[in-house]
Amino acid sequence: MNMLCRIAELLTLLCLSAVVYAEPVDVRQGAELGSGYTFGRGETCTVLTAGHVVSEAGDEVTVTDRTDGRAVGQRVYFNVAYDLALVELPRGSTVACSARWPDTHWMNDWQPNSRAQFDVVRHYPGGRELLVALRYAGGTRDTLTLAFIDKLHIVASDSGSLALLETKPVGIVRRVLPDADRVDVLRFDLIDHLVGERFRGTEQGLPVALVGVTQRGHANANWGTFVKAWLTEQAGRRIVDANDPSALCRIGIDVIEWQNTRVENPDYASLNAKLALCQNQLLGKFWPKAQQICEQPLREKLRSTPSHLNGHRVMFNMTMTPRSGVSQTKLATVELIDEPGAATSGSDVERGVLQSAIAPSAMELFKAGICD
């Protein structure tokens, strides 16, 4: 009887795995190669993967399934804070996309423990699979830290793979922590909170048209791509063609001025002020060692703290024209400071600066109901 029950359990797991497993795919953007899984909704096929695998905004993403079905898609969601991305494939592509978005309600009361075994499935062309076994080794509300059980480890191209508990997805692999021999996994209940509505709804966001981003009268295609990404990923709007009659409004942005700036670092000034206090302490006159103890950590921090920070000053004019009514404009000047040591040029910098600069003005106009 026990044997019959065990056979029944195994058959149940096999049936469940056919339902729960999403379709595995390889994801490539430029020289970056990772993994992902496709989920379908209606005629739309979307790939879930790690953000760093498709970090370049506007660049094509090549997706290949295990039967060599191939499609070129575009990134439609990118969350740098959680290293998460979605890539949408063109309708009618040959990439396998039959799985539906999984239910994560069971994770609400789930308490992981070190006895549970997790699996990451490494997929190969032709359907061959290889299981990488892991166990729970810690985590946070949003992440799981998993440890390898045997000598089979995860490699860089496994980023974006699903981590499974039995047949249920619990997260996606973001990266391997080589110093600690651990794997960092983003929990699937958080992923569902961030992007799940895209797979449950019938359509995402209110339709708007971006007529362009210009500078001195000339259209900048890259900047237009960055603004489209912000409108869809952060503002929750759906981009349609400029002449599409369904567009609730038309949005145009003219960048009047974009200057690199350099400002004093307040942290550097604060450290110098604290150092001056150490030097003026009366105790140091009678006990020089006390002054040395006070000054040493401050001087060490000063050596690694820049005296000035690089930044950007962006002046732009944003125009939103509703389908019926008068255009609304917003002239704004925004000053942004780079993180110490960060690059000051390149497409990633331009994307971050432009999106951060336009966000407050765009949200203010959206809240006024111009594009509703």
| Cα–Cα distance measured from residue 253 to residue 210, given in angstroms and rounded to the nearest whole number | 9
* Residue 124 included in any domain: yes
Q: What is the DSSP letter of 105?
A: G
Asked whether residue 176 falls in the same domain as residue 189, the answer is: yes
Q: Are 219 and 207 in contact (CB under 8 A)?
A: no
pTM of the model: 0.54
In the chain, count of helices (H) and strands (E)?
8, 18
Domain annotation covers residue 8: no
Same domain, 152 and 188: yes
> Hey, what are 91's tokens?
């309708």
CATH of the domain at 360: 3.40.50.10610
- Number of domains observed in the structure of the chain: 3
Give yes or no: residues 212 and 187 share one domain: no
Whether 213 and 352 map to the same domain: the answer is: yes
Neighbours of 231 (CB within 10 A): 22
Q: What are phi and psi of 51, to 5 degrees?
A: -60, -40
What's the distance, Cα to Cα, between the start and end of the chain in Å?
Answer: 63
Together in a domain, 327 and 179 = no
Q: Is residue 218 part of a domain?
A: yes
326 with 249, same domain: the answer is yes
Considering the domain boundaries, does residue 187 fall inside one? Answer: yes
Task: Based on the fold, state whether residues 229 and 245 are members of the same structural domain.
Answer: yes
Does residue 135 fall inside a structural domain?
yes
**Percent of the chain that is helix, strand, coil (3-state, to 5):** 30, 40, 30
Residues 288 and 313 in one domain: no
Q: Are residues 39 and 104 in the same domain?
A: yes
The pLDDT profile of the chain, 372 residues, written as one tens digit per residue, is 344 443 333 333 333 333 345 689 999 999 889 899 999 887 789 999 999 999 888 789 999 988 888 999 989 888 888 899 999 999 889 998 888 898 888 998 888 888 888 988 887 766 677 788 899 999 888 999 999 888 778 777 788 889 999 889 999 999 887 666 889 999 999 998 888 877 875 445 788 999 999 998 899 988 988 898 888 877 888 888 888 888 999 999 999 999 999 888 877 778 878 877 777 765 556 667 777 778 788 888 878 777 778 889 999 999 999 988 789 999 999 999 887 766 666 777 888 899 999 999 999 998 888 888
Residues 6+ apart with CB under 8 A from 56: 29, 30, 347, 348
154 and 55 in a common domain: yes
6 occurs within a structural domain? no
Contact indicator for 263, 309 with CB cutoff of 8 Å: yes
Range of the domain at 279: 266-303
99 and 161 co-located in one domain: yes
Residue 285 carries which side chain, given as an amino acid letter? K
Claim to verify: residue 180 and residue 272 sit in the same structural domain: no
